[in-house]
Amino acid sequence: MKNVLTLICIVAVTSGLLMGVAPDVHAKSYTATVESVSDGDTIRIRETIKGTNKIRLLSIDTPEMYYHGESQEPWATQAKTYLQQLLPPGTSITLETDVEETDDYGRLLAHVWKGNRNINHEMVRQGYAVTYFIWPNIQGITSFRSSLVEAKRNELQIWNASNPLPELPFEFRLRASGRQPEKYVGNVQTHTYVQPDAYQQVPVEDRIFFWSEADARQAGYTPADQNEGHILLNEVMPDPHTSFKHEFVELYNPGDQPVDISGYIIDDRVGGGSSPYTIPDGTVIPAKGYWIWEPDYYFNNAGDDVTLKSPDGTIIDQYSYQFSSNDASWYRSPDGGSWSETMDQTPTKKDRNQ
């Protein structure tokens, strides 16, 4: 509930970062001219680069216009139309690739720059695209994540609560083709990964996909079920008003055995804040059980981080919110699942999330 006097400065700095920076001079780059826009994340160029004139905008995913006889309308056309506005025929662009330059379809995978404007980033920032990072192509992952969080908070385009995109594009493709999830999914905040069919355990903005479990391990990720007893942040209520006297953070143990969390740390800064809280010795969360911490004036109403760390400072779980409401909470649904996109007006402290 503490006030943040420097909020304006923080927003100003963040906004500058989200607008994009000059292309990375260490990445491979190619100059090209736009021929046409195929859909919200694919364009054609007049030149041929690495045997193709088809460019797949790297690390983003937009609604499908036509896939196995189905489409994600009207969101697919809206994304294409916006990209056409950004990249009309004849536009001079710079294509910046990452570690892997082409996909299985032979398309060039690239960040599309129009001057100093990263068009891929712009599609995420305006709510027309979701991030879709597939290792090892992870350039820009931090700034893209921030823009996705902001687009969701502002309910832009596919995140509009009154008419949201029912399925993420990759979910749509899986269902339409009758396939099951194939990629392992990492959490960029905790550096843990889950099995392909457990992807919903990782918040949308924190996902990074791996073609294999070996890739995930090579990238330095560890299995989520081996991470510090599998304890999770489960519910956060930062702004008590009438129904609650204190803020609260709820931890959840989804495992089948009790877990001793003595010495674990709760902090409001990922990198370490000024007043981290250390959980007392002898604190144990039962199997499928909860533990509650109730501070006063600890979290910012206008947005903050909630970080759970092991005694040695390793991040176990982390959640960031951009705003809060009186007596309402951010929560995982169901317990241990994905974080909610809206606040619960009836928090369920130390009880099952609906």
34 and 45 Cβ atoms separated by less than 8 Å: yes
Active site residue 44: no
Amino acid at 77: T
Active site residue 107: yes
Q: What are phi and psi of 309, to 5 degrees?
A: -125, 155
Rounded Cα distance between 204 and 158, Å, is 13
**Cα 291 from chain centre:** 26
Distances (CA, A) of 144 to 32, 39, 138, 148, 149: 24, 20, 10, 6, 9
Enter the tokens of residue 165. Answer: 């995109």
The pairing of strands 52-57 and 108-114 is parallel
Residue tagged active-site, from 56, 145, 207, 332? 56
Active site residue 56: yes
Q: What is the gyration radius of the CA atoms in the chain, in angstroms?
A: 21
Whose tokens are 């370490």? That residue is 272
Q: At what angle do helices 7-18 and 141-153 cross, to 10 degrees?
A: 120
55 and 42 Cβ atoms separated by less than 8 Å: yes
Rounded Cα distance between 247 and 236, Å, is 8
Residue tagged active-site, from 107, 125, 145, 332? 107
Residue tagged active-site, from 35, 64, 205, 247? 64
Rounded Cα distance between 215 and 186, Å, is 10
State whether residue 269 is helix, strand or coil. coil
Residues involved in catalysis: 56, 64, 107
